[in-house]
Amino acid sequence: MRRRPAALRAVLGLAVRTAPAALLGCLLSAAAVAVVPVAAAWLMRTVLDALTAPATPGAGLLLPVAGLVATGVGAAVLPHVEQLVRGELARRIAVEAQDRLYAAVNSWVGLARFEDPARLDRLRLAQSCGQEAPPQIVLGAVGLLRTALTTAGFVATLAAIGPVLALLVLLASVPVLATEFRLSRAWVGTALRITPYERREMFYGQLLGDVQAAKELRLFGLGSHFRARMRADRAVVDAANRRTEQRAALLQGAPALVSAAVSAAGLVWAVRAAARGELTVGDVSVFVAAVAAVQGGIGTAAALAALAQQKLALFGQYLDVLAEPVDLPALAPVRPAPPLRQGLELRDVWFRYSDRHDWVLRGVSLTLPAGRSLALVGDNGAGKSTLVKLLLRYYDPTRGTVLWDGTDIRHFEPEELRERISAVFQDFMRYDLTAAENIALGDVRAADPDRVRRAAAEAGADGLLASLPQGGDTMLGRAFLQDPDHPEEGVELSGGQWQRVALARAMMRRSPDLLILDEPTAGLDPAAEYEVQELLRRHRHGRTSLMISHRLGTAREADLIAVLREGTVTEHGTHEELIAADGTYAGLFHRQAEGYTAGSTR
């Protein structure tokens, strides 16, 4: 975790860079708000003393009364001005802080960080405090400044009337300050402890409101089960907060009693001094106001400072996320990723997701010559999708290398490498956007309606687009209305229709050097599968492609087939070669073929 001064510098730097005018306005209005009560107390003293002056009662009242009226107007107007400027400052800082956080998360090259629970806890804290903490800290600092100014004014007032009491009031505030700082540390500890529970609570909350989850939740009657789990996590969070609140009440009680005793003693002293004629009525009034203001001011300042300290400690988590080094840095010398001319090679690739996991790939060696298609087949969990993730550099091999035209892909910038590849994943995304946008996302920078139409045609999704009520402009999914002014509902697609849209998205990338298709036709009906296969065959022609498929009728269309079993390539060759070899592939192929024939003759 970062040190608080560094965090404070970072927050103030953020404010100065993103909203200098609002910050200045905030400081000026805070200073003005701070001065008003001190001025009002002194003016009141002057007025009271003038009224009770034995020689000329009521003389010379004009100026102090005018001043009092002015401070009244100031007290009424200035806090609203300050509120406006504070709001603007808070919004600007929050937007910038949030944007920086997501820019940092977006710069994570691989997927491993998204699968690390401790890191996700920190990210959750960074998300919640990244938006709230910076404005709270800056506004807290401004508020602290304002309170310090007002308090200093009243301390000076007190010192002028009763220096000993001024000292006593200040001494009595030391325990208040110490307690608040102690408590702020306790609150930070609590926040860190409860984050994993809050994250899980959020997860259950999302499940309970998610249409995708709704089917199973209703079928298996899981709603109350997840609600109970959510309540259990909330109970842990509440218990931790309750313990800290109880501790706060206990710790804050004693200093509050000391402050009350000091102010009572001060009042008795002032009244007796006035009775003896040592203080005027005005003195007593300003003295009473000053004791209350100093005690209140010190209490507010302590609370603000403690809150700022607490937010700074949590903001450290945000800064830690921003300061994380690149997760999968390119190897020196970094080279431009060239068009694929010779081919891809996996050379003795070993991979496991972490030291705690088993090996998923165990010495995979495989070549895919440029311009050829390779089908990867194998049992569930054999490591096929994992191999694809290594090609896209979502992870680096634990041992061994992935070579692109003979160069280790770690020498390329990952974005450059990925720009040369297009893919349809097994678990492709369904974006709650229009159909055309869903496709255009495959190449947002170069998307135009013609290109989108061509990609849709290449994926056999043009008919689907034409059949939608507003064509490509139809909102997909039912989470959002088409447009608040034209409240047509979105259209939900079938699984196979979504798959065609995902395929069209992959087709947006013009002439990729490598096309990866992970179960591209799994959700399609037989006629659609045949049609899409035809389209893909044409699209693949002369291109380098890698396809994963459990349907061996589809796999046989590839130039080469590799069988992956328990993390190793056990067979590799053309369909004819593998059938002749009469190994696993041949066995599986004949069994699937028999299944189709048996089905058709039944």
| The one segment of 126-134, 135-143, 375-383, 594-602 that binds ligand ATP by CB under 6 A | 375-383
Closer to ligand ATP by CB, 263 or 386: give it: 386
Closer to ligand ATP by CB, 543 or 551: give it: 551
Count of beta carbons in the 10 Å neighbourhood of residue 189:
13
Binding-residue pattern over the window 386 to 405 for ligand ATP, x denoting contact by CB under 6 A = x-------------------
Closer to ligand ATP by CB, 426 or 494: give it: 426
Q: Verify binding: residue 106, ligand ATP, rule CB under 6 A.
A: no
Q: Verify binding: residue 45, ligand ATP, rule CB under 6 A.
A: no
Closer to ligand ATP by CB, 384 or 575: give it: 384
Question: Facing residues of 408 across strands?
Answer: 403
| The one segment of 135-143, 268-276, 377-385, 535-543 that binds ligand ATP by CB under 6 A | 377-385
From candidates 7, 10, 360, 368, binder to ligand ATP by CB under 6 A: 360
Whole-number minimum distance, CB 410 to ligand ATP, in Å?
A: 20
Q: Verify binding: residue 86, ligand ATP, rule CB under 6 A.
A: no
Whole-number minimum distance, CB 357 to ligand ATP, in Å?
A: 5
Whole-number minimum distance, CB 343 to ligand ATP, in Å?
A: 22
- Report the alpha-carbon distance of residue 293 to residue 289 in Å, rounded: 6
Question: Would you give the end-to-end CA distance of the chain in angstroms?
Answer: 68
| The one segment of 14-22, 145-153, 159-167, 374-382 that binds ligand ATP by CB under 6 A | 374-382
Count of beta carbons in the 10 Å neighbourhood of residue 102:
11
- Report the alpha-carbon distance of residue 254 to residue 247 in Å, rounded: 12
Binding-residue pattern over the window 403 to 442 for ligand ATP, x denoting contact by CB under 6 A = -----------------------x----------------
Closer to ligand ATP by CB, 138 or 524: give it: 524
Q: Verify binding: residue 56, ligand ATP, rule CB under 6 A.
A: no
Closer to ligand ATP by CB, 40 or 502: give it: 502
Closer to ligand ATP by CB, 83 or 365: give it: 365
Q: Verify binding: residue 381, ligand ATP, rule CB under 6 A.
A: yes
Q: Write the CB contacts of 171 (distance below 8 Å, at least 6 apart in sequence).
A: none
Q: Write the CB contacts of 473 (distance below 8 Å, at least 6 apart in sequence).
A: 434, 435, 436, 482
| The one segment of 35-43, 174-182, 334-342, 381-389 that binds ligand ATP by CB under 6 A | 381-389
- Report the alpha-carbon distance of residue 337 to residue 563 in Å, rounded: 29
Closer to ligand ATP by CB, 322 or 522: give it: 522
From candidates 224, 380, 511, 601, binder to ligand ATP by CB under 6 A: 380
Closer to ligand ATP by CB, 100 or 352: give it: 352
Contact (Cβ atoms closer than 8 angstroms) between residue 219 and residue 225:
no
430-444: burial string, b at 16+ Cβ within 10 Å, e else = bbebbbbbbbbebbe
- Report the alpha-carbon distance of residue 348 to residue 342 in Å, rounded: 19
Closer to ligand ATP by CB, 443 or 571: give it: 571
List, edge to edge, every strand of the sheet that includes 399-404. 361-369, 343-351, 399-404, 407-408
Question: Facing residues of 402 across strands?
Answer: 346
Q: Verify binding: residue 100, ligand ATP, rule CB under 6 A.
A: no
Whole-number minimum distance, CB 353 to ligand ATP, in Å?
A: 4
Long-range contacts: 587-590, Cβ < 8 Å, 24+? Answer: 588/377, 588/552, 589/552, 589/556
Q: Verify binding: residue 330, ligand ATP, rule CB under 6 A.
A: no
Closer to ligand ATP by CB, 49 or 379: give it: 379
Count of beta carbons in the 10 Å neighbourhood of residue 11:
26
- Report the alpha-carbon distance of residue 554 to residue 570 in Å, rounded: 20
- Report the alpha-carbon distance of residue 400 to residue 390 in Å, rounded: 11
- Report the alpha-carbon distance of residue 357 to residue 11 in Å, rounded: 40
Q: Write the CB contacts of 433 (distance below 8 Å, at least 6 apart in sequence).
A: 441, 475, 476
Closer to ligand ATP by CB, 138 or 569: give it: 569
From candidates 59, 73, 115, 590, binder to ligand ATP by CB under 6 A: 115
Which positions from 338 through 357 interact with ligand ATP, judged by CB under 6 A? Answer: 353, 357
Strands 399-404 and 343-351: antiparallel
Closer to ligand ATP by CB, 13 or 381: give it: 381
Whole-number minimum distance, CB 111 to ligand ATP, in Å?
A: 7
Contact (Cβ atoms closer than 8 angstroms) between residue 349 and residue 564:
no
Q: Verify binding: residue 116, ligand ATP, rule CB under 6 A.
A: no
The footprint of ligand ATP on this chain (CB under 6 A) covers a number of residues equal to 13
Half-sphere exposure of 514 (CA within 13 A, CB side): 28
From candidates 255, 266, 378, 442, binder to ligand ATP by CB under 6 A: 378
Q: Which two tokens stand for residue 186?
A: 């306790």
Q: Which two tokens stand for residue 576?
A: 């004819």
Alpha helices in 468-524 (DSSP H): 495-507
Q: Which two tokens stand for residue 446?
A: 């170069």
Contact (Cβ atoms closer than 8 angstroms) between residue 530 and residue 465:
no
| The one segment of 76-84, 314-322, 380-388, 484-492 that binds ligand ATP by CB under 6 A | 380-388
Point out which residues bind ligand ATP (CB under 6 A).
115, 353, 357, 360, 378, 380-386, 426
